[in-house]
Structure 1
Amino acid sequence: MGNATRNISSGVNVDPDFYFASVVSGIVMMLMFVCSSVLSPIVLWALWKTERFKSPIYRMIGLILFNEVLVRIFGSPLLITSMLSVRWLYFDVGCVFYAFLMTWLGVTTTSLFTCVAIERYIIMCQPDLRHHLTVHAANITGVICYIHGLIWAITPLLMVNGYVYEPSRLSCTPDWSHDNIGYIMGLLFVCFIMPVLTSMYCYITIYKVIRRHTIRTGFGSTIDNNVAFNTAITLGTFLLSWTPYVCIALHKTLGMEEQINLSKEITLIPLVTAKTAGLCHPLVFGLNNSDIRNVIRSELKHFCCQTFCIKRLSRRTSSGRLKSTAQYDRSNERLNHQENEVTHKNNTYQQVNKDSYEVIHSSRTSTEV
């Protein structure tokens, strides 16, 4: 093939290294898509069935999982198919739709993530303010987070460049060029740096409170340890998901392309890591929670029990039908045999009578003669 591989569907020469990286990324994305498409709805459904869903903090977590479900339905299929085809398949209209939706849901999820950290901080460190954490307040906060994300998603549509293709041309994003440095720096500061700093302050303060409680009492509370573990893992997954994207964006916005040349293969890393949140959030917020695990376990047992009982009942019914059919066949054979015997006896009796009649008739005839 020479130095390039021809993409037959598009007629464009594709570098073989990029072709391989794109296909591998698409396969990895497909595996994450399958796992997260199963986990996110199950955890969201189990969370809705628990009493914890009535608490404000778990309303926020429920909205985060709901966003992940929307991403899996409307976003991931477009990206996966484009990666496997090594080109964007859905024209400019699909590009704008994908970038707009991912920006909206991404910023909204980041805001909800920050709200979860603040609510946990209030619960653990500011007990006097707990009475402000109501379900009504959580619902209003969720609406504000969605409006906040919508503002940042609509803004590129009002700009000159708007949403553009990424360097890999497998996805679309806001224009990271130096011409939009005001929007890009504001987006990074408000939607990444501030949430990270706020969450780190909240979680570090929570850890200090738990540590102080452990030293004072001599043993740690299981609930407090679980909260500290969950929040630390949540912060780690957030940084893992969005830090590569921020680095690539700053690299282009600050005009560092001439000093540091990044290949198109490297630009695929943020596309993959950004979607890891859909797999991490159900694990951190869902399966790590004992109440949600119990709901999933009980429903799974109930489903398996119903399936087993139905199969067993159908097996018994079918075996009973077979037994009754066999008994019916044997009884029919017995009746047929009896009928054949009676018919044979009748035929024999009639033949005997006929022979007797002929003998008597022949004797009479001979006598007369």
Structure 2
Amino acid sequence: MAGFSLHGNSSVPSTDGLSRTGVTILAVIMGLFSVAGIVLNVLVIVAILRYRQLRQPLSYTLVNLAICDLGCSVFGGLPTTVTSAMGYFSLGQLGCVLEGFAVAFFGIASLCTVGVISVERYIVVCYPMGAAIFQTRHAVAGVVLSWVWSFVWNTPPLFGWGSYALEGIGTSCAPNWYNRDVGNMSYIIIYFLLCFAVPFSIILVSYSRLLWTLHMVSKLQISEDRSTHRVEVQVARMIVVMVLAFLITWLPYAALALAVIMDSSLHVDPVIATIPAYFAKSGTVYNPIIYIFMNRQFRGNAGPTVLSG
């Protein structure tokens, strides 16, 4: 099948360097993160759909982010839990391709959604007087763009440009960062630039300008409505924390992939390579926690419209 590569036979244990106890511990950790990710993201989706006051343009992207995280938990976290508990990747060739594609598809869609949210918040906070208005159609366009962009750049390995392979200790699959073939390398480099570097750049630029704007407003004390200013600061703090959590989750994985791409002679211990992959899958828990504990609408459905533009 096109798009598939295994380090070895998928029916034999491939967890060399890690004891059975260590593999079991990883399975338990991933299981906890997966279940928590499913429960919390379902809670976010239900809360937004249930309460009318939460249905603002930004909520479209928040729901989309929760769906992306839910997909990562169901199609990435749970299979990894099972294969880790068994001590080897037991899902075979097709299972590796499907898991690798699903995790990459939902993961990149999630990253793109965070980028869309950063642009939304920049517009809402930096143009509060209507110079630029963020509307429902803009939110829908951002959501559609996130899915289309992720789909376009994660399907090539299914047709032979690039591949999906076992990663780390061999209990989960991902885009093949290690294959040095010209075709695979060209795909991985383009994939890294368009699916990691571009969204990261958008996020960093948007939030840097947003924070600079808030800093200047606070410094000049030109806001007559102090409560409104406090709400905007709270919104900025919530989103910045969310982005930092996302970067902490995905940056180690992206950095490892980049190191492997840049240095063909680099040998990464399978156990060390597994840690960033587990961090990436555990990130599905952080976003809903931030929404619940840092957003007063999720805490009481009362007070200022924190999420609205």
**TM-score calculated relative to the size of structure 2:** 0.84
| Cα separation, 2, equivalents of 1:18 and 1:52 | 51
Larger relative CO (CA 8 A, sep 6+): 1 or 2?
Answer: 2
1:204 paired to 2:208? yes
Alignment-derived partner of residue 243 in structure 1: 251
Greater mean deviation of Cα atoms: 121-130 or 56-65: 121-130
Give the structure with the higher percent helix.
1
Aligned with 2:132: secondary structure? helix
Match of 2:242 among 228, 231, 234: 234
Alignment-derived partner of residue 50 in structure 2: 49
| Cα separation, 1, equivalents of 2:131 and 2:188 | 35
Alignment-derived partner of residue 68 in structure 2: 67
Q: Which amino acid aligns with 2:245?
A: T
The 1:10–1:191 alpha-carbon spacing in structure 2 relative to 1, beyond 3 Å, is closer
The 1:52–1:184 alpha-carbon spacing in structure 2 relative to 1, beyond 3 Å, is farther
Q: How does 1:316-335 map to 2 (within 5 A)?
A: none
| Cα separation, 1, equivalents of 2:160 and 2:131 | 42
Contact 1:181 1:253 in 2 (8 A): yes
Contact 1:118 1:202 in 2 (8 A): yes
Match of 2:299 among 287, 293, 296: 293
CA drift at 1:263: 1.1
CA drift at 1:159: 1.8
CA drift at 1:148: 1.1
The 1:11–1:157 alpha-carbon spacing in structure 2 relative to 1, beyond 3 Å, is closer
| Cα separation, 1, equivalents of 2:85 and 2:241 | 31
CA drift at 1:144: 2.1
Contact 1:59 1:138 in 2 (8 A): yes
Q: CA RMSD in A?
A: 2.4
Contact 2:48 2:55 in 1 (8 A): no
Q: How does 1:62-141 map to 2 (within 5 A)?
A: 62-127=63-128, 128-131=130-133, 133-141=134-142
What do residues 264-317 of structure 1 show as CA deviations (whole Å, max 9, x unaligned)? 110111221102221111012333211111159xxxxxxxxxxxxxxxxxxxxx
Contact 1:178 1:252 in 2 (8 A): no
| Cα separation, 2, equivalents of 1:197 and 1:14 | 36
Aligned with 1:89: secondary structure? coil
Contact 1:22 1:268 in 2 (8 A): no
What do residues 167-193 of structure 1 show as CA deviations (whole Å, max 9, x unaligned)? 421111122123222211211111211
**TM-score calculated relative to the size of structure 1:** 0.71
| Cα separation, 1, equivalents of 2:64 and 2:280 | 18
Aligned with 1:100: secondary structure? helix
Q: How does 1:159-170 map to 2 (within 5 A)?
A: 159=160, 162-170=163-171
Alignment-derived partner of residue 36 in structure 1: 37
| Cα separation, 2, equivalents of 1:184 and 1:129 | 40
| Cα separation, 1, equivalents of 2:150 and 2:191 | 10
1:217 paired to 2:221? yes
Q: How does 1:328-367 map to 2 (within 5 A)?
A: none
CA drift at 1:78: 0.5
| Cα separation, 1, equivalents of 2:162 and 2:152 | 17
Q: Which amino acid aligns with 1:275?
A: K
Q: Which amino acid aligns with 1:139?
A: V
| Cα separation, 2, equivalents of 1:255 and 1:19 | 31
How many residues are matched? Answer: 285
Alignment-derived partner of residue 172 in structure 1: 173
Aligned with 1:38: secondary structure? helix
Q: Which amino acid aligns with 2:137?
A: H
Structure 2 residue ranges without an equivalent (≥5): 1-9, 303-309
CA drift at 1:30: 1.4
Contact 1:122 1:129 in 2 (8 A): no
The 1:215–1:87 alpha-carbon spacing in structure 2 relative to 1, beyond 3 Å, is same
Greater mean deviation of Cα atoms: 95-104 or 179-188: 179-188
Match of 1:282 among 268, 283, 288: 288
Q: Runs (4+) of structure 1 moved beyond 4 Å?
A: 9-14
| Cα separation, 2, equivalents of 1:229 and 1:64 | 18
Contact 1:43 1:287 in 2 (8 A): no
